[in-house]
Amino acid sequence: MLRYIARRLIWGVVILIVVCALTFILFRVLPTANPAILRAGRDPQPRLIKEIEQVLGVNKPLIVQFWEYLKQVFFHFNLGYSWYSDAPVSELIFERLPATLSLCLGGAILWVVVGLGVGIISALRRGKLADRAAMVGALVAISAPTFWLGIVALYLFAAEIGRFPIFPGAGSYVSFTQNPAKWFGSLILPWLVVAASSAAVFARLMRGNLSETMGEDYIRTARAKGLPEHSVTRQGVRAAINPAFTAFGLELGFLLGGALLIEIVFNIPGVGLLNYHAIRSSDFPVVQGTVLLAAMFIVLMNIVVDVAYAYLDPRVRFS
Amino acid sequence: MSDEEPLLRVEDLVVDFPTEDGVVHAVDRISYEVNPGRTLGIVGESGSGKTVASLTTLGLTRRQGARISGRIFFKGEDLVTLPEDRLRKIRGDELAMVFQDPLSALHPLYKVGVQLTEAVRAHRDVTKQQARDRAIEMLGHVGIPDPARRIDDFPHEFSGGMRQRAMIAMALINEPKVLIADEPTTALDVTVQAQILALMERLQRELDMAIVIITHDLGVVAEVADEITVMYAGKIVERAKAERIFTAPEHPYTWGLLRSVPTVEGQTWGLMRERSGTIERKELVPIQGSPPSLINPPSGCHFHPRCPYFQPSHAESEPPLEPVPDDPDHTVACFVHSEQRRMLWANLRQGATPQEAIETVGAGDGA
Amino acid sequence: MSDLLVEVRDLVKYFPITRGIIFQKKIGAVKAVDGISFDVKRGETLGLVGESGCGKSTTARLLMRLLQPTSGEIRIDGRDITKLHGADMKAARREMQMIFQDPFSSLNPRKTIGSIIAEPYSIHGLLTGKNERKRKVQELMETVGLNPEHFNRYPHEFSGGQRQRIGVARALALEPALLIADEPVSALDVSIQAQVLNLLRDLQSRLGLTLVFIAHDLSVVRHMCDRVAVMYLGKIVEVGPGSALYEFPRHPYTGALLAAVPVIDTSRRGRERKLLSGDVPSPVNPPSACRFHTRCPKATDICSEVEPQLEDLDSGTRAACHHLLTHDEAMELGVRGWG
């Protein structure tokens, strides 16, 4: 098992290097502002621009720049400095990380609970009203774009502007350490929106899986043993959860990488919002940093999911 | 049959399944009984209704929307009308079932020990440790080596034979009075099959249990069954003591089965191709036609479209299950007269074709 | 033209088990087929029997070169097919065809049975004329007992037995010399089995086919096969004429197999049967020397030290054993012989 994890981690690092390279190249190919000009202030002299270029190191060959960057990242965990604000990228990111984590993890808990519940009930009452209603609801939640859902949620429920002002609105985020109650309140709407479409997908998945597992031979055996029905259902759920868990893990990885739209709509100062601003101002080191972070989350969640699967399904264990 | 009161008595059981294409008449009025310490073999092919009948006994077809009528008496109670919670108490306790494919019949994600202990704790008020001890004891009893260690294995870590032993342990852990085994050895290698059948016989003796064994394999029933019931298209077509089924069968479907099956001794009741000296080259005689639809079964005798001895009157009404003249325990549902049937069989087993047999016997209308 | 259509010599197939962080290192192997040699005469039916893990299905796939052997030779009509590549191999494939076990998964559900049966022609670029092809397909359908008008139907519209017939028709399309049937009737109902078995026997005598018949059901094998080879853990332990083998098995494993088969003669119920105990060992780590020695009632020290070779015995049988069964022992096992 350890060998397997080690192998996956090494490949993970390789993937991250490739991601770095790709974004690096992309930013060179796209027509963006010369960062030296950005930093130079108003009406810069060409000689000043050249000096700044020298300082920033953007006049060296690409390969050299890339190599320097890689060394910094992997050996010193130094992601560079923002071209806009001169602050260390890693600092900027770590500042924003708690907000993103609060959003994603909270949303994830909600989506699992709701998704599981709805999925199980739908599977057990397949074809009946509860099931049909739930699946229609799920379809709506999946089809609706998240940012639209966010805006609608604000429109309906946000404190100052909403029709039924019960929740704090956009921009009300405060960190947990500052004020736990306010932190919680400000995240309710965003959590609901994050959870909405993911829970819907999860519910559909669980419904399908559970319907299938409840028809398996071992369920018939469980009934033949005279077990109470709730035990039988539990056995079915246990088998149905495995593939859903994989989907959950991967989705979470995605989300952690940048719940961009939600952070924008609700003005949550997370990594996604940072990324957004950086792209708009062509602040390449910051973008590079956030993309790397996103890739890292996805790679990590992939590994976690695969390893966890071996625990969930003993047939898959590596010996 | 024995003088004892039968443990399980099925009376006029009918099981229908409404489906989109029509009503499937899976079981079409069958009756049978089992006595303690005896083994009843139910033989039939797919679509004969044998599995549905046994699942219904345990009430496992209720959830599939089955329409059930008739009576299934077990210890004085009618299982057909028994409420679900009472039936659940009997299932896995006094009435147990073993299924065909142990790899799919055991939950892949729970340890074998857990599956066994939950079977105990569903019916007995014992502690976890007591249940676990009982499980270890039972695993050892069915011949699994090192049971205290293997109890914490998962089903896929067992070999095929061991898995079936574990299933048997699970079914017998509460010492049932009746065990229903649905194709228990079909998925197993032949040497393992022999071990499992021997195991079942030993446990039957120890627990004085009745066994209903369902299979399509004539060899298996010949080895273990005391009585054999042959089913076709949801009906029982013949029932007799095991020896009689093989020495003096009296239903054309039974003849068809016997003549289409090769035996390891090389002999069949099949068609004689050539005979030179003592060498006989026999041919398998398949039953012509194909299994009938259960939604629209043939009228009258369900077997009539495939029966070489068919007379038009046979399609008009269903033949009743009646005993043969010299043996009240041997019942057959066929319109052809018993004496004619015996003469036909005498010819067939020598290697005649149905046509030849008919000519020799001069089979006329048996209605 | 030689008497022998198929000659197999020292055929070996190991499936490697690997482990490692970046580079996969081989730490062991599943020894599915561990050095077997046998012949198949033209026009005869050879049966391959054995229980799970014995390697019979792997052998079938090696014969068809669906798998590449680890080592060894397979000569079909004198040519070693293990050495062929590309166009030569493709041409060689016309001589050998296979029928599979599961009639439900061996036919492409999206193709009509007409196109399934005609597929071999497309693959080998034969019978390019549409009408010619259709005529040939319908001819094949009639040969196997299917209604030729149904060639535009799809597999799901047919029963299991009929689908197996479609598989047979497909196999016969190229008029192969060798037909390999891998458990062709195991998935069928008893009454349908007889139909398909009769069909195979009939086709064999009419078309002069050579048949390699793989099955676990000893009764079926006895009925269908002229000669039978018994496999255990990747080795052939006994091979010989069916009648001799079944009436007087020489290898203890063959004896155990036959003793285990339930017999229909109820007068012999309750007879003393010596049953084999335990399970088949894993093919990853098979026992040394004679593979069967761990379960063999006659095993002695030499059995775990020196591997027995297949030796000719009287009655045309060959068996690999240091302690062959005597006539009395064979009878004691509960095996009935015509004796």
Contact status, residue B330 vs residue B243, Cβ threshold 8 Å: no
Distances B35 to B6, B39, B210 between C-alpha atoms, Å: 4, 8, 6
Q: How far is C83 from chain B (nearest CA, A)?
A: 35
d(CA C297, CA A262): 74
Instruction: Note the pLDDT of residue C268.
Output: 66
Show Cβ contacts of residue A81 under 8 Å, excluding neighbours closer than 6 positions: A87, A88, A89, A285
pTM: 0.84
Q: Does A60 touch chain B (CB under 8 A)?
A: no
d(CA B137, CA B284): 47
Show Cβ contacts of residue B258 under 8 Å, excluding neighbours closer than 6 positions: B218, B246, B249, B269, C264
Contact status, residue B136 vs residue B147, Cβ threshold 8 Å: yes
Radius of gyration of chain C (CA): 21
Tens of pLDDT, residues C205-251: 888 899 999 988 888 898 889 999 999 999 999 999 988 888 889 99
Of the pLDDT bands very low, low, confident and very high (cuts 50, 70, 90), residue A142 is confident
Of the pLDDT bands very low, low, confident and very high (cuts 50, 70, 90), residue B11 is very high
For residue A279, give the CATH number of its domain.
Answer: 1.10.3720.10
Other CB atoms within 10 Å distance of the CB of residue B6: 18
Q: Are residues A170 and A40 in the same domain?
A: no
Q: Are residues A141 and A63 in the same domain?
A: no
Q: Is the pLDDT of residue C36 over 90?
A: yes
Where in chain B are all domains bearing CATH 3.40.50.300?
Answer: 8-231
Q: What is the mean pLDDT of residues B262-281?
A: 61
Instruction: Note the pLDDT of residue C182.
Output: 92
Q: Using the beta-carbon criterion (under 8 Å), do A221 and B92 form an inter-chain contact? A: no
Instruction: Note the pLDDT of residue C262.
Output: 84
Largest CA distance in chain B: 71
Highest mean pLDDT among A78-82, A126-130, C36-40, C86-90: C36-40
Q: Are residues A62 and A172 in the same domain?
A: no
Distances B177 to A228, B214, B228, C231, C315 between C-alpha atoms, Å: 21, 17, 20, 41, 51
Instruction: Note the pLDDT of residue A32.
Output: 57
Q: Are residues A131 and A264 in the same domain?
A: yes
Contacting B residues, span 138-167, partner chain A, CB-CB under 8 Å: 154, 156, 167
Q: Which of A257-266, B41-50, B144-153, C227-236 has the lowest mean pLDDT?
A: A257-266
Q: What is the mean pLDDT of residues C315-331?
A: 87
d(CA C300, CA B186): 34
Tens of pLDDT, residues B299-326: 999 999 999 998 899 999 999 999 999 8
Contact status, residue C50 vs residue C291, Cβ threshold 8 Å: no
C208: left (phi over 0), alpha (psi -120 to 50) or beta: left
Q: Are residues A286 and A137 in the same domain?
A: yes
d(CA C209, CA A301): 57
Q: Using the beta-carbon criterion (under 8 Å), do C20 and A3 form an inter-chain contact? A: yes
Q: How far is A228 from chain B (nearest CA, A)?
A: 7
Residues in chain A: 319
Tens of pLDDT, residues C120-131: 998 888 888 888
Instruction: Note the pLDDT of residue B365.
Output: 44
Largest CA distance in chain C: 68
Percent helix, strand and coil across chain B, each rounded to 5? Answer: 35, 25, 40
Tens of pLDDT, residues A167-195: 776 777 777 777 788 888 888 888 888 88
**DSSP label of C240:** E
Give chain A's domain count. 2
d(CA B295, CA B22): 6
Tens of pLDDT, residues B71-130: 999 988 999 999 999 999 999 999 999 998 888 999 999 999 999 999 999 999 999 999
> For residue A224, which of B39, B155, B99 has the smallest C-alpha distance?
B99
Q: How far is B89 from chain A (nearest CA, A)?
A: 6
Q: Are residues A107 and A232 in the same domain?
A: yes
**Nearest residue in B to A238, CA atom:** B109
Residues in chain B: 367
> Which chain C positions have a beta carbon within 8 Å of B267's beta carbon?
none
Burial of C95: CB neighbours in 10 Å, binned 0-12, 13-18, 19+ = middle
d(CA A204, CA C32): 43
Q: What is the mean pLDDT of residues A113-125?
A: 90
Instruction: Note the pLDDT of residue C338.
Output: 36
Reading the block at residue A51, the tokens are 């000096």
- Boundary of a domain, candidates A39, A64, A89: A89
Q: What is the mean pLDDT of residues C270-290?
A: 79
- Boundary of a domain, candidates A27, A57, A89: A89
Instruction: Note the pLDDT of residue B129.
Output: 94
Q: What is the ipTM of this complex?
A: 0.85
Q: What is the mean pLDDT of residues C246-267?
A: 85
Contact status, residue A65 vs residue A49, Cβ threshold 8 Å: no
> Which chain B positions have a beta carbon within 8 Å of C242's beta carbon?
266
Instruction: Note the pLDDT of residue B1.
Output: 44
Q: What is the mean pLDDT of residues B241-258?
A: 91
Instruction: Note the pLDDT of residue A39.
Output: 62
Single-letter code of the amino acid located at B305 = P
Tens of pLDDT, residues C302-313: 888 888 998 888
> Which chain C positions have a beta carbon within 8 Å of B227's beta carbon?
none
Q: Are residues A231 and A115 in the same domain?
A: yes
Q: What is the mean pLDDT of residues A68-77?
A: 76
Q: Does B299 touch chain A (CB under 8 A)?
A: no
Tens of pLDDT, residues B23-34: 999 999 999 999
Per residue, what are the HEC states of B142-179?
A: CCCCCHHHHCCCCHHHCCHHHHHHHHHHHHHCCCCCEE
Q: Does A308 touch chain B (CB under 8 A)?
A: no
Q: Which of A12-26, A42-56, A201-215 has the lowest mean pLDDT?
A: A42-56
Local structure of B3: helix, strand or coil: coil
* Better-scored residue on pLDDT, B242 or A71: B242
In sequence order, the β-bridge partners of residue C14 are C31
**Nearest residue in C to A2, CA atom:** C21
Q: Are residues A229 and A293 in the same domain?
A: yes
Q: Is the pLDDT of residue C264 over 80?
A: no
Local structure of A122: helix, strand or coil: helix
Contact status, residue B151 vs residue B139, Cβ threshold 8 Å: yes
Q: What is the mean pLDDT of residues A140-168?
A: 81
Q: How far is C23 from chain A (nearest CA, A)?
A: 10
Instruction: Note the pLDDT of residue B180.
Output: 95
Q: Are residues A51 and A105 in the same domain?
A: no
CATH topology of domain B8-231: Rossmann fold (3.40.50)
Instruction: Note the pLDDT of residue C339.
Output: 28
d(CA A209, CA A218): 15
> Which chain B positions have a beta carbon within 8 Å of A222's beta carbon?
107
Q: Are residues A131 and A82 in the same domain?
A: no
Strand (E) or helix (H) holding B77: strand B77-78
> Which chain B positions have a beta carbon within 8 Å of A213's beta carbon?
none
- Boundary of a domain, candidates A89, A106, A138: A89
Q: Does B193 touch chain C (CB under 8 A)?
A: yes
* Better-scored residue on pLDDT, A50 or A265: A265
Single-letter code of the amino acid located at C213 = F
Name the residue range of residue A201's domain: 91-316
Q: Using the beta-carbon criterion (under 8 Å), do A10 and C21 form an inter-chain contact? A: yes
Q: What is the mean pLDDT of residues B335-355?
A: 86
Q: Are residues A128 and A248 in the same domain?
A: yes
Q: What is the mean pLDDT of residues C259-268?
A: 77
Q: Does A9 touch chain C (CB under 8 A)?
A: no
Instruction: Note the pLDDT of residue B356.
Output: 82
Distances C160 to B214, B265, B317 between C-alpha atoms, Å: 21, 28, 31
Instruction: Note the pLDDT of residue A41.
Output: 63
**DSSP label of A158:** B
Q: Does B283 touch chain C (CB under 8 A)?
A: yes
Tens of pLDDT, residues B198-248: 999 999 999 999 999 999 888 899 889 999 999 999 999 999 999 899 889
Of the pLDDT bands very low, low, confident and very high (cuts 50, 70, 90), residue A90 is confident
Chains that touch A (3 or more CB pairs under 8 A): B, C
Give me chain A's average pLDDT, please: 83
**Nearest residue in B to C259, CA atom:** B191
Q: Using the beta-carbon criterion (under 8 Å), do B118 and A228 form an inter-chain contact? A: no
Q: Are residues A243 and A272 in the same domain?
A: yes
